Amino acid sequence: MNIVVLVKQVPDTNSERRLTDSDHTLDRASADVVLDEINERAVEEALRLQEAHGGEVTVVTMGPDSATDALRKALSMGADKAVHLSDAALHGSDAVQTARALAKVIGTVEGVDLVLAGNEATDGRMGAVPAMVAEVLGLPALTHARKVEVDGSTVRVERETDEGVAFVEAALPALVSVGEKINEPRYPSFKGIMAAKKKPVTTLGLADAGIDAAEVGLANAATTVVEAAPKPPRSGGQKVEDAGDGGVRIAEFLAAQKLI
Amino acid sequence: MGATMDHRLSEEHEALRKTVEEFAREEVAPVIGDFYERDEFPYEIVRQMGRMGLFGLPFPEEFGGMGGDYFALCLALEELARVDSSVAITLEAGVSLGAMPIYRFGTDEQRARWLPALCAGEKLAAFGLTEPGSGSDAGGMRTTARLDDDEWVINGTKAFITNSGTDITALVTVACVTGRTENGRPEYSSIIVPAGTPGFTVSKKYSKVGWNASDTRELSFADCRVPAENLLGERGRGYAQFLQTLDEGRVAIAALSVGLAQGCVDESLRYAKEREAFGHRIGEYQAIQFKIADMEARAHTARLAYYHAAAKMLRGEPFKKEAAIAKLVASNAAMDNARDATQVFGGYGFMNEYPVGRFYRDAKILEIGEGTSEVQRMLIARQLGL
């Protein structure tokens, strides 16, 4: 079974993240960049499926040249090869443009049975790209998976959202996006790190992937960030005076925050 | 390690360093304080380290190793010790004292039998050299082994042996006096004693000042019999084996010391930016700034010293003096930084709930273990021809 994993390089959630003043896109220079943590779980899930069913795992990313490091991380975990779509014209692309571009890149990989992705990236947090990619490719989309099983030509998923858990299945080829509860990703071993250096990384420009420059980039995006302000400093919080109903009110507060 | 003047890490070494840094921060830091408080060996963390291949770093792939080098091990030790020294010393002793002598001096059978599980971190090996009455002066060793038919019969006691009493300890390599040379000097040899051999007793854990989540035991051997083929390497070559093992171990302990020294900087920086006194963050006061600047300078220079020693070792050049210098300055840096970090933290520095309290307790042994600071000075002076 051949699997493509969509990955993204994002600013480390441990560092301060901001948008640039000039065009309100992500300021990649101001923070350490890493392979997105939910994507790491998607890679882990792909490797586990490969261990059970064989086949090849290809990681795909769209991003600046530095995003190669995120691909190397996935390769050092055990993925077989990588494709990197990198072109200055892609800067500032929105979710729809990104999904169309990724669909083209996935089209360059032969015999894909399953596309895996994280259900959202920790930077943009749109949570839209995986389903859009499936739409463009005409594949069934099984999103928010907390468990994935492949049985012959069927993929079965436990889909967990705020509304509850649903058991869904589809015929392969399909796209599955995973949530953060799906697994604990492995740490790369030194052997994996060294092997990753020798694994093939194909770098594609727009023309190589058959993408029209007029369809991507900030100037052609359907959405624009008009204004951005830093998040306000933490406020003092909300005090509840206990008039006999303190317990109930705390429970109501936690329920409203979806913590219980 | 590239050109002489360039201390940048190779891509792979940097990727390994980052991986271990993340592992230490995410997996070790949140839980190790509790193990330390309970004097408990962290089996699950060791198992994870094994899965990452840390115990196999400097060994070839044919024995289950990672095909890396000794410098890779040093980087891993430094990053672990930035967070905790107990797990770092477990790795250091497991690799450089446990598995390395078997890899270097063992027969094909011995390597095939022991190395795969040791490289995977599923089993640990220990090295029994120190005795209650002989540490720096290894010549005072009293443990003996005599050949009786096809078996070695071992008698004696070993002290302060790391990794020797865990549930996953597979063997202890025991340094023994196996006779007299022609000129009447003691003849030293190393003998592999598998865990559970009758006559080999592991006593209960020591109560230690630091390294509380690591395993350290006294071992006794009373007519303990093992097959003659358990001899490690040549008979009578024991002393040369110990010296080589210890020279490398010094570079590893230097790396571990640098990690502790750097961990003190990390924690102090964080605290200095948070804690307020007299209306300002304490990091705005020069008294604290200078302390932290000195700490950073010590960690940095000690790191350069061990990088240099490791580079000479990997090039196959003599590195005895550089290893001793690295061990000396790095353990000093660790001790000084632990003292200063505790001071930066004030009363909280004296509480076990903060890592600096652990760093303070863990630092002292670095000036003692694998050659005291006095022994390092002796070695340096000797290399200078004194």
CATH of the domain at B319: 1.20.140.10
Mean pLDDT of chain A: 91
Indicate whether B2 pLDDT > 70: no
Q: Computed over its alpha carbons, how large is the radius of gyration of chain A? A: 20
Q: Report the C-alpha gap between A173 and A112 in whole angstroms.
A: 7
Express each pLDDT in A89-138 by its tens digit.
888 888 999 999 999 999 999 999 999 999 988 887 788 999 999 999 99
Same domain, B319 and B262: yes
Indicate whether B4 pLDDT > 60: no
Express each pLDDT in A22-61 by its tens digit.
787 877 777 788 888 999 999 999 999 999 999 999 999 9
Q: Is residue B312 part of a domain?
A: yes
How close, in Å, is residue A189 to chain B by CA atoms? 5
Indicate whether B3 pLDDT > 60: no
Indicate whether B7 pLDDT > 80: no
Same domain, B264 and B231: no
What pLDDT, on the 0 to 100 scale, is given for residue A171? 97
A188 chain-B contacts, CB cut-off 8 A: 15, 19, 52
What pLDDT, on the 0 to 100 scale, is given for residue A244? 87
CATH of the domain at B191: 2.40.110.10
Write down which residue in B236, B260, B292 finishes a domain: B236
Q: Report the C-alpha gap between B90 and A225 in whole angstroms.
A: 52
Q: CA nearest B69: which of B26, B103, B46, B33?
A: B103
- Domains assigned to chain A: 3-220 (3.40.50.620)
Q: Report the C-alpha gap between B335 and A65 in whole angstroms.
A: 43
- Specify the pTM: 0.88
Confidence of residue A214 (pLDDT cuts 50, 70, 90): confident
Q: Computed over its alpha carbons, how large is the radius of gyration of chain B? A: 21
Catalytic residue among B27, B353, B370, B374: B370
Same domain, B201 and B225: yes
A223 or A14: which carries more pLDDT confidence? A223
Domain range holding B360?
A: 239-383
Q: Which of B22, B48, B61 sits opposite A191 (nearest CB)?
A: B61
Q: CA nearest A118: which of A69, A48, A169, A59?
A: A59
How many separate domains does chain B show?
Answer: 3
Express each pLDDT in B55-69 by its tens digit.
999 999 999 999 999
Q: CA nearest A67: which of A80, A83, A79?
A: A83
How close, in Å, is residue B77 to chain A by CA atoms? 14
User: Phi and psi for B313 in degrees, rounded to 5?
Assistant: -60, -45
Query: Is ipTM strictly over 0.85?
Result: no
Same domain, B115 and B220: no
Express each pLDDT in B186-215 by its tens digit.
999 999 999 999 999 999 889 999 999 999
Express each pLDDT in B31-54 by its tens digit.
999 999 999 999 999 999 999 999
Picking from B19, B52, B69, B266 by the largest number of A CB atoms within 10 A of its own CB, the best residue to mutate is B19
Q: Is residue B6 part of a domain?
A: no
